[in-house]
Structure 1
């Protein structure tokens, strides 16, 4: 019987930290800071003033803000009412998604745009998951109660709804990008747009790194091949993809390692060789550094049936 539909293998890692709901009084202020992960912020009620790098903006109820990793920002509740919010810090090891997330330092999605998605529904479902996990403890212990371990099923729900939120935000960002693409194309024709040049170079670097993934392609080697210095190569790549070329290679190797461990019966020596490691023990040590598990612990156990 022929397969009607076949989905690609998907072995990507989602990292979620600092996922919470909060309520801040008038006069509240959070000083200038930055994160190593992407941040999504949703204004549930009230309003909040942000300074992103040196740009000032105000979020109102229903607005969303996507902040690229490394962007310095500060927040203040300058209104006369409480500011309620949902916020999550996350990272994904998919290069195409990271490229879109890193396209601009920040992206503000107004309430009217967000209402065309299911974002509000996903947030309400997440809130329900978190409410279920609140333990009945005294008010003084409320903060500790919120950070108590989640049930396994609720961890899956947390990841699922976070991914759905990221999906809808990216869809809105992509639509906004396509909506202004004609104007960008015209501007690029009139005057060579340096951002387009940067993107083209970064994509070429990414392609060369991907093709040489199993042959230990070095950043220095790719830079030399493209007549760039190593620092230029890293700076251009990081600007577009939001991570260094070395981090990208590590993430891609981890992704391929997981796929080979899950979908094949290859011995560790063959997997190590395919990924450009000198030995199975070298691969095993690096895999444990990446995941906290050995390859044999990560590999699913296959049970034979009679």
Structure 2
């Protein structure tokens, strides 16, 4: 149960996440999209997608969620069709999802019957062996019904269900993830090769997918973003060159100065006073 004003900061993880809104409502920011869940809604978030959550209404928000991964390539492909998939209450009622959640709650309540005043449920590691199996079984049944609903919804709406049959969706999704990782790495020694390795792509695959969506190479994008941030720091701060270089992931102030001159034809010191004078 989360009170009004509750917020979980932006994060990501290597697992898929499945959320069910039990009571109230919650606002999610997933990549750049705003998604509001109401009572009875379900949300599947793809692994690696950055997201944050907030209870912006005036009532408590309660939820069920599970983080999971599966080894089956076909199932992972279906789970990975989009950064997130929202299943509204009306659609979810055609399944047994609510029943399975009730069974999960019954297992947890049975294990927390003693002492009755216990405020927190037992962690899974302390459950009886047979109840651990029940939890895993009901969790898999929940995932089964969610996948079935997503498959039916995709068929009914004319959407394709295999990522290799919808390359534009897959390409855009991967390109956005590359862009996000590059942006987050501006203050570090971010490299295209490092991002490609992190995403299990070759460097050429990474560049090809990114260029198809953004119209420039990842290296060009990284240079533009660093130049933009460098100009901002030079104009709006009085930081020494060594600090600016460090913030931009350069090994030294001289390295930063040489790169800035390649970008603009000026040294940072030549750029800074002129622009300070025009903005004062």
Q: TM-score, with normalisation over the residues of structure 2?
A: 0.57
Partners in 1 of 2:124 and 2:33 — Cα distance? Answer: 33
The match for 2:135 among 152, 155, 158 is 158
Contact 2:112–2:121 at 8 Å: present in 1 too?
no
Largest Rg, 1 or 2: 2
Q: Cα deviations across residues 3-58 of structure 1 (Å, max 9, x unaligned)? A: xxxxxxxxxxxxxxxxxxxx101110101011210000000010001101110011
Partners of 1:72 and 1:132 in 2: how far apart?
35
Superposition pairs of residues 108-257 of structure 1, within 5 angstroms: 108-134=86-112, 136-137=114-115, 142-143=119-120, 145-146=122-123, 149-181=126-158, 194-195=167-168, 230-232=202-204
Partner of 1:26: 4
- Aligned partners of 1:138, 1:122: CA distance in 2, in Å? 24
CA spacing shift, 1:197–1:117, aligned 2, 3 Å: closer
Asked if the contact 2:19–2:66 (Cα under 8 Å) also holds between the matched residues in 1, the reply is: yes
Shift of 1:134: 1.6
SS in 2 for 1:92: coil
| 2:38 maps to 1:66 | no
The superposition leaves residues 102-135 of structure 1 with CA deviations (integer Å, 9 ceiling, x where unpaired) of 0000000000000000000000000101111126
Q: Is the 8 A contact 2:108 2:122 kept in 1?
A: no
C-alpha distance in 1 between matches for 2:61 and 2:170: 41
Encode CA deviations 1:149-186: one digit per residue, 9 max, x unaligned: 1111101101110010000000011111112326x79x
- Whether the 8 Å contact between 1:36 and 1:69 is mirrored in structure 2 is yes
* Partner deviation per Cα, 1:237-287 (whole Å, 9 max, x = no partner): 9xxxxxxxxxxxxxxxxxxxxxxxxxxxxxxxxxxxxxxxxxxxxxxxxxx
Task: Determine which structure has greater relative contact order: mean sequence separation of CA pairs < 8 Å that are 6+ residues apart, divided by chain length.
Answer: 1
- 5+ unaligned residues in a row in structure 1: which ranges? 1-22, 186-191, 199-228, 238-306
Contact 1:135 1:145 in 2 (8 A): no
- Aligned-residue Cα RMSD (Å) equals 2.9
TM-score normalised by structure 1 residue count:
0.53
